[in-house]
Structure 1
Amino acid sequence: MAKSKVTRMDNVGIVVESLDNAIAFFEELGLTLEGRATIEGEWAGRVTGLGNQNVEIAMMVTPDGHSRLEISKFNSPAVIADHRTAPVNALGYLRVMFAVEDLDETLAGLKKHKAELVGDVVNYQDLYRLCYIRGPEGILIGLAEQLTSKRSTL
């Protein structure tokens, strides 16, 4: 068996218009702001292929410390595409799924941040309660509450 070249998934990135609103939303979900910074200059643009750039980032971490979400607001160059309202079957990045302890309580808290349920909360084989929501700026988020101690791969 070949040795894996990946050692871990470091983070998932989401681009937003309002960093403050996105931070507040993800803090309500239970993530913690690990750090916030401005990244700029030609060196950063060499990584992204965007040339000289100026981007504000916030790194959010899950309670277990294993997963991170990098939220970015591009000051320059200007954003050139908007996929925030893409449906669930659109090509490309779509959503991030979070495990939560109490789905109903989580949804109630996120409504303060204008989160909207996309479809219904459904019970998957008495293993999980699942739903999709749209958070700030239409960001699509999946939420899953495990109902039993038996873990299933979805």
Structure 2
Amino acid sequence: MTIQRMDNVGIVVDDLDVAVAFFTELGMELEGRTPIEGSWASSVVGLRDMRSEIAMMRIPDAPGRLELATYHRPALITPEPAVFPANAVGLHRVMFAVDDIEDTIARLRQFGAELVGEVARFEDSFLLCYLRGPSGIIVGLAEQLN
């Protein structure tokens, strides 16, 4: 057996509207938004009597989707510390290739995005940076130079 594809990456957020707006500004499109609940959903995620809402974001004309979710039941929990550094064990970041890194940073700042470090140049190949977005999500940006 082989893997057919990576379908999506799921991220739990505290404000679904803000997260959708942030990733829309980044250039993704909202594919759909729906509540998720019922015994099948509770069985999959291992939470009794759960109710959530998801927003599926897609990259236009490219493979790859991001599933943004918030939980209404049971209540969201925020682990300590609430904002993890880049070397924390677990999901590290979601990386996107962009045309203009400085323009992208400027547009995302209006949604509260902050640079984790700074924009750095990797040889003559890429400009790279990490931003902290909604719900503390680390988003990597890469602009190819040649």
Q: TM-score range by the shorter chain?
A: over 0.9
| 1:59 matched residue in structure 2 | 56
1:30 Cα deviation after fit: 0.1
Q: Which amino acid aligns with 1:120?
A: E
Shift of 1:81: 3.9
Preserved contact between residue 37 and residue 58 of structure 1 (Cα < 8 Å): yes
Higher relative contact order (CA 8 A, sep 6+): 2
Inter-partner Cα distance in structure 2 for 1:145 and 1:66: 19
Corresponding residue for 1:130?
A: 128
Q: Deviation per CA, 1:26-65, whole angstroms, max 9, x where unpaired?
A: 0000000000000011110111111221000000001233
- Structure 1 runs not aligned, ≥5 long: 149-154
- C-alpha spacing 1:67/1:137, structure 2 compared with 1 (3 Å): same
Misfit runs of 4+, over 3 Å: none
What is the one-letter code of the residue matched to 1:136? P
TM-score normalised by structure 2 residue count: 0.95
Q: How many residues align?
A: 145
Shift of 1:79: 2.3
Q: Secondary structure at the match of 1:144?
A: strand
1:9-30 deviations in Å (ceiling 9; x for gaps) = 0000110111000000000000
Q: TM-score, normalised by structure 1?
A: 0.90
The 1:103–1:133 alpha-carbon spacing in structure 2 relative to 1, beyond 3 Å, is: same
Percentage of pairs with the same residue: 54
SS in 2 for 1:107: helix
CA shift at 1:80, angstroms? Answer: 3.1
Matches within 5 A, 1:102-121: 102-121=100-119
Q: Which runs of 5+ in 2 are unaligned?
A: none
Name 2:15's counterpart in structure 1. Answer: 18
Aligned to 2:144: 146
The whole-number CA distance in structure 1 between the counterparts of 2:22 and 2:104 is 11
Q: Structure 1: how far apart are the matches of 2:101 and 2:114? A: 14
Among candidates 39, 50, 60, match of residue 36 of structure 2: 39
User: Do the aligned partners of 1:84 and 1:139 also contact (CA within 8 Å) in 2?
Assistant: no
Any idea what SS the aligned residue of 2:124 has? coil
Q: Distance in 2 between matches of 1:34 and 1:65?
A: 13
Q: Distance in 2 between matches of 1:65 and 1:37?
A: 22
